[in-house]
Each structure stands twice: as C-alpha cells, then as structure tokens.
Structure 1
Amino acid sequence: IYITMACPINEDELKKLKMFVEVCSANPGLLNLPQLSFFKAFVEKMGGTIPTDSSFRKPEPQTTTAADADSEPDSFSESEPEKVESEPESDIEIDRDGCVEPDTLDDSQEMGDATRTPNEEELDQSSDIRANANKAYVDGKIDEAISLYTEAIKINPTNALFYAKRGQAYLKLNKPNACIKDCDRALELNSDSAAAYKFRGRAHRLLGNWESSAKDLRQACKIDFDEEADEWLREVTPNAKKIEAHRVKLERKKAEKDLRERQERVRRAQKANEKAKAKASKESKKDEKTGGRMGGMPPFSDPEILEAFRDPEVAAAFQDIMTNPGNIMKYQNNPKVMKLVSLVGKSMGAGSMGGMGGMGGMGGMGGMGGMGGMGGMGGMGMPNSGEGTGAPKRSADFQDDGLD
C-alpha cells in the first residue's frame, strides 16, 4: 500500500524555489555567499559539492583600441553599461537570527467601523472586555485574547490602545504583518501611542526590517521610556547602522554618478555651442570677404571698396548704375557714389569697367561740352576730355565771320 503525502509547500513558494534553483544552477558560486550558508550545508549534507569562487572564469574585459577611441570620442558616456546597484543587504553581513516568515493578512482581522461613535454605556462595556482580554493574554490564551480585543474594537473602534494590545497578541503568534496593521490603525487614532510604536517596531524586527524597527522603537522610548522597548532597540541597532551606512554609501555613489552625467551633458552642450559659433564665424568671415557683392560683380579685396559698399545709399546707387549705366548721370554730384565708381573702375583695370555693359557708348555725349570736367572717368569708356565723335572743338579766340 502506497500512501501519497501532500506537498507542504504551496504553489507560489514552489515557484520561488524553482527560480532559486535555476539561478544557483547557472552560477553555483552564489552558494558560497554567507547568506546562503544554510543551503550550502544542506547540499553538502546530501553528498553534493559546492565549487569555489575561483573555479569560475571571469569574463575577459573588452579592450578598446586607440583608433576606436578616436573614431567615437563622445560615445563613452552613452555606451558605458549601467552598473546595477546591489540591494542594501546584499553585500553586508546581517544577522537574521530570530526573523520569521511573513504572515498573510486575511479578512478575519476585523478593524471595526471607523464612523461609529460609542455611547457611555458602550465605553464601559468595551473597557470590561479589554480587561478580560488582558487576563487571557497573561494566562497565555492568545487566541482568546485576540477574540476579546476584537469584540472590544467592534464596540469602541475609537480606542487606539485596543488595536495596539491586539497587535501585541499577534506578535505572540509570530504574525508581524497583522501586528503592523493594528499598530498602523492605532497611530491613526493616536499619533503619540508609545505602545503602538513599540509593538510595530518589534514586528519589523521579526521581518528583518531593521531600520524601520529601530525608528519605531526609538520613537516609543522617546514618548514613554520602556525597558523592554529599549532592550529591543539595542538588539536591532547594529544591523540598522550597517544598513544605514551602506545605504548612505549607495546614495553617495548615485549622487556622484548623477554629477558626472550632468557634467558630461554640459560638456557636450558647450562643445556643440562652440562648433555652432565657429561655423557662424566662418560664414560671417566669408560674407565679409565677398563684401556682400551684388550679382554679376566680381569679388573685391580693396578695403576701401568694401567699406563703401557698407553704406546702403551707395550700394543702392551702384546697383542702379549696374542695372542701367545711363543712370550714372543721376549721381554725378554725389561724391560718395562717384568715388566708388572710380575705385571699382581702377580695381577692374585696363581702363574700362567691362562688367558695366554698355558704358562705353556714352562717348557720344562729347557734344555736351560741359561734360569735359569728367576726364577722370576715362577708365569707364568715356572721353578723357569730353571729346566725343561730334564736331571738333574750336579755340576760344576763333571767330566765325562766315568767310569760309
């Protein structure tokens, strides 16, 4: 006859156990961690062997050549893999002796009607029930004490001490989460309940929440010093200090990392800004070199010509002349425009401004006599002394007496 025994471990716990075994199978060296010494002892007791850390080959670090570094100068910060910070207790020695498995909360823990206001008779009745609950607790009848505290809470849900005392009873049954739930409600009703801080601090200790435990027990002693609470506080302080120091270390590393990342972002922004400024400066110098010349005109390097073109009036007049050379007559009394025309003519050399199209045709204006004063315009194809293709100039003392 074969008897099938039911598995004492629930499905969720089995899944966690399976995951744990898979992790250890992938990296058996984990079993050398102090936190897993109990499991290592079990494996060895069953005849298994645990490889040492030195038996594992560490991954070879990847090397980067100078050429690779030069080809991607700004990629280091972005491509560098993020370091996964360990959990606060993963690399420090913590004594978890006395800790228990977390309990599961259920609906059997009645919290009373928070909107209910008891009358005088009900207040007295709830106090009597609480006295009976205290007696049951002292006699070691914990389940009975919890039932009586629950009955008192139903009648008077406004008394913080009822919840704190029921939380104390849950501690006796190693139900720290149930205790924390009751103490949370007690502190909602009375934020200065030393008993609630005391028992909640003890519950956190059973769960291994060392910092929370120390904080609550410290507050309990501050409100109303209690020797038992002080003893519990001394018990959790070493582990709490270790975790606190480790957490501060991690926070400092994170702050340093954030600072480096901010500095890198600033450096990149400054570099991009410098590149933009250099590009703008280069384009500005290019524009200055061309002098903002108009279409069809060759580039000028004469500083005097470039300076003249900076005058909007002169530039517009010169453009007008370029469009229609005959328009030069409009500007003959404007020394700035005529000076520019002369400078441009000289810079283009060979006595004429070829780029100005049909300016040479103005030679036919020699008959105007008075234009002789424009002799300096010879380079523009105009007669040097006002002589055109018309009748020859007669001397000033010549008299036409009609006897030819």
Structure 2
Amino acid sequence: MSCPIGKEAVDKLKQFISLCKSNPDILHLPDLKFFKDYLESLGASLPETRKMQSDIKVEPNEVNEEPVQEEVIESDPESELEFDMTGCVEPDFIDDANQKMGDPSKELTEEVADKADEKRMEAMSQLSEGNIEKALELFTEAIELNPTSALLFAKRGQAYLKLTKPNACIRDCTRALELNCDSAPAYKFRGRAYRLLGEWELAAKDLRQACNIDCDEQTDEWLKEVTPNAKRIEEHLLKKERKKKDKEERERLDRIRKAREAHAKAASAAKEEPEDDADPMGNAGDFYKLFQDPEVMAALQDPEVAKAFQDISMNPSNFAKYQSNPKVMNLVTKLSSKFAGSGMNIPGFSGGAGFPGAGMGFPGAGGGFPGAGGGFPGAGGFPGFPGGFPGADTTPKPEPKQPDDDNLD
C-alpha cells in the first residue's frame, strides 16, 4: 500500500512530531485539540503541561500530621543480570515436515519393532562416522516404525544437537521424557540444548537430573559449566522474592497502623462530643428503657392504647380526650409508679424533658404532661392528683417562717 500523502507532507509531519517530542505542552493547545482527542482515542496517555503541574497545590488539611516515610528503592546492580554468552547460538526454527514424530496410536508388532531397532543401529553408525544428516534420516525412519521408544527420540535429539539445532533437540528430548520420565540421555541432551540458548537455570536443572539418574563425565562437565550462572539467577530470584515479601509485609503493617489511627481518632472524637449532644433529653435513655418494661409493652400492644399515645405525641393537647379512657389512664398510672420505684428522674418535672411530645413532653410547663408545673392535667400533676403522681402526699405544707414571725399568735 502506497503512502496517501506526498513526501513534502510527510516531512512536515516529521517536523511536527519532533516538535511534540521536544515540547509536549503544545498538544494541549486549543488548535490541536482534534489531534489530542485522536491520540487519546488510541489509548495514548498524554503528559500534563508544566503549568498544570506547577498549579497543583496541597491543601493544608490534606497533609498528614505524621510525616510519611518514603520507601527507599535501593538500586539493584543485578536487576538486569548480564552473562557471558560465549558459546550460545541463535534459536533455530523447527521444521515439522522433516522432524516427524510418528503415530503413537499405531499398533507395534514384534516384526516392526525389530525393523525399528535395525534402523537405530544404522543411525548410530552414521552418527559415529559424522554423517549427521544421514543419521537423522535413519532415526526418523525408526521413529515412524516405533514412535513409543524414548531412546529413539533422545538419540535423534542428540543428532540435532550436533547440528546446533537446540530447539529441535529440546522437542525430541521432551517427547522422550513424556515416554520415559527417567531417561538420562533425554535430560542430558536437553540440558545442553538449553545451555546453547542461554537458558542457564533450565540447563542446570536438566543436567542435575541427568547426573542423579546416570552420571557420566561429559554430563558432569556440562553441569559445572552452567552452574555459576544458574546460581546467580537463583540467588537473584530469591532476593526479588524476599523484597516482594518485605514490601507486602510493610504494606500490611501500614494498613494496620492506619486502621488503628482511624479508630483512635474516632474514639477521641466521640469522647470530645458534649454529653448534651449525645443525650439531648437528659435522662431520655432511662425514659425509653421504661417503654421496654414487659407490663408497659403489654399495655401498648392494645391498638386503642397505642393509637391514643400516637395521637397525643402528634398533638399533646389531645391528652384531654383520653382522661376518661380507663385503658390509657391505667397505663399512665403504671408509668408513674415505675418512675417512682426506679429512682429515675421523671421527664418533664423540675423543668426537665418530658414524655415524648411537643417540646420533648406532653403539654405542660417545663416539658411535662399537661398541667402546671410540668405534670399531667390538673394542678401540676396527673389528673385528679394536684401537683404530683397518684398516691403522692398532697398535704399542704406550712408556709415558710417569716423573719418577723416569732410564732406568737
């Protein structure tokens, strides 16, 4: 496909791109908004302008009281390990047409197995004479006859190794190990192939396994060659893993610290709240506990009584309608006796908060039930009980003695 624009336009485009690289701020110019939108639609992340960065200010209330210790990132000289790659080769491309793997589902007869063994012997002879290509052909013919022989795949892998085709060798040896996981030749030749590709850790792993199964002088020599680089990689990976775990532990402890600080801050704020804010009705906590009393709750189960109390709470002046209702007044009597026996302050008396209703109580002075003095209707108390609860002492008390009164009549 040819370029749809001319060379002159391409040159100008190159100049524009160079300008953008030297000064990315121009991408935020209004005239170039269309180009900025196009870049962002492709997933590009554009840098902020220097002015935008300089305008960013940290609000004082956003600054932590305790200075946050910045994580010090230590420079790791081995973050990018470098090795002497002498002896390594470029990876080869596997040719499936020539590297035939045979049909493992094919039935193997004794006659066929004998023919495969004859081909293997011929291939070994050619390999020892240096005729590697011919040896490969014979090994392939043997594999097609007996595709279940791990030894045939391992020996053909050796031939590929001699031709400096490590990937082909690895493929054959891997197949051999699938057929026989204890094939020392397969581990040996695959380990050497990994060494040619610079895969030091994999090479050491295979060569160690080969030595564990059936060690020979050549395998031991190859293992010693790759061990130093393999150890460097292993130590480097362990170091990275330790750093990762240390970082995760620091983050975990930091989360715990922040959670504790938040909890302590919330607890401190709760203690600093005024008690009046926590309980605006003064003794309302005790008052509402009263309504959890079994007798009171049982009385409120009566729809008529519940409706009456709801009506009174909506409009305290409606209390007068229920003075003749024995159910409602019976509950009022129970409430007054509960208050008297519990030692709790009666809401609405002495200017305190009263039963739920307007002004934190039923109608009445000082937030109490209807009546003077913060009580129920009547002379400062429940109906029919002037100035107090039912059963209260209503005997008039003597007037205070006057200064000039010598008690002589």
Structure 2: segments with no counterpart, 5+ residues = 1-52, 354-363, 397-409
Q: Is the 8 A contact 1:376 1:384 kept in 2?
A: no
Distance 1:92 1:148, change over 3 A: same
Amino acid at match of 1:310: K
Q: Structure 1, residues 347-370: CA drift from partner, whole Å, max 9, x if none?
A: 359xx725458525736x9xx9xx
In 1, the alpha carbon distance for the partners of 2:80 and 2:237 equals: 11
In 2, the alpha carbon distance for the partners of 1:105 and 1:84 equals: 43
In 2, the alpha carbon distance for the partners of 1:245 and 1:332 equals: 85
Residue 96 of structure 1 deviates from its aligned partner by 1.4
Distance 1:72 1:384, change over 3 A: same
In 1, the alpha carbon distance for the partners of 2:88 and 2:244 equals: 31
In 2, the alpha carbon distance for the partners of 1:162 and 1:286 equals: 92
Distance 1:341 1:225, change over 3 A: closer
Distance 1:67 1:344, change over 3 A: same
In 2, the alpha carbon distance for the partners of 1:192 and 1:341 equals: 90
Residue 337 of structure 1 deviates from its aligned partner by 4.4
In 2, the alpha carbon distance for the partners of 1:357 and 1:311 equals: 16
Residue 68 of structure 1 deviates from its aligned partner by 7.0
Query: Which residue in 1 is equivalent to 2:257?
Result: 267
Residue 115 of structure 1 deviates from its aligned partner by 1.0
Where do 1:273-312 residues align within 5 Å?
273=263, 288-291=278-281, 300=282, 307-312=286-291
Distance 1:92 1:222, change over 3 A: same
Distance 1:120 1:83, change over 3 A: farther
Residue 185 of structure 1 deviates from its aligned partner by 0.4
In 1, the alpha carbon distance for the partners of 2:119 and 2:78 equals: 44
Q: Is the 8 A contact 1:117 1:158 kept in 2?
A: no
Q: Structure 1, residues 56-82: CA drift from partner, whole Å, max 9, x if none?
A: xxxxxx9xxx977972439999xx899
Q: Is the 8 A contact 1:158 1:189 kept in 2?
A: yes
Structure 1: segments with no counterpart, 5+ residues = 1-61, 292-299, 386-404
In 2, the alpha carbon distance for the partners of 1:155 and 1:85 equals: 58
Is residue 185 of structure 1 aligned with residue 164 of structure 2?
no
Q: Is the 8 A contact 2:187 2:207 kept in 1?
A: yes
Query: Which residue in 1 is equivalent to 2:92?
Result: 103
Where do 1:134-173 residues align within 5 Å?
134-173=124-163
Where do 1:382-401 residues align within 5 Å?
none
Q: Is the 8 A contact 2:348 2:367 kept in 1?
A: no
Amino acid at match of 2:290: D
Query: Which residue in 1 is equivalent to 2:371?
Result: 359
Is residue 345 of structure 1 aligned with residue 349 of structure 2?
yes
Query: Which residue in 2 is equivalent to 1:324?
Result: 319
In 2, the alpha carbon distance for the partners of 1:256 and 1:342 equals: 62
Q: Is the 8 A contact 2:204 2:227 kept in 1?
A: yes
CA RMSD between the two structures: 4.5
Query: Which residue in 2 is equivalent to 1:335?
Result: 337
Residue 116 of structure 1 deviates from its aligned partner by 1.4
Residue 117 of structure 1 deviates from its aligned partner by 2.6
Residue 171 of structure 1 deviates from its aligned partner by 0.7
Query: Which residue in 2 is equivalent to 1:120?
Result: 110
Residue 105 of structure 1 deviates from its aligned partner by 1.1
Q: Is the 8 A contact 2:348 2:366 kept in 1?
A: no
SS in structure 1 at match of 2:106: coil
Amino acid at match of 2:64: P
Q: Is the 8 A contact 2:200 2:230 kept in 1?
A: yes
Question: Taking every aligned residue pair, what percent have the same amino acid on both sides?
Answer: 44
In 1, the alpha carbon distance for the partners of 2:144 and 2:65 equals: 67
In 2, the alpha carbon distance for the partners of 1:170 and 1:184 equals: 13
Distance 1:244 1:69, change over 3 A: farther
Give the TM-score, by structure 2 length. Answer: 0.60
Query: Which residue in 1 is equivalent to 2:83?
Result: 94
Residue 287 of structure 1 deviates from its aligned partner by 6.5
SS in structure 2 at match of 1:130: helix
In 1, the alpha carbon distance for the partners of 2:169 and 2:179 equals: 16
SS in structure 1 at match of 2:164: coil
Picking from 189, 193, 210, the partner of 1:199 is 189
In 2, the alpha carbon distance for the partners of 1:153 and 1:244 equals: 37
Amino acid at match of 1:73: N
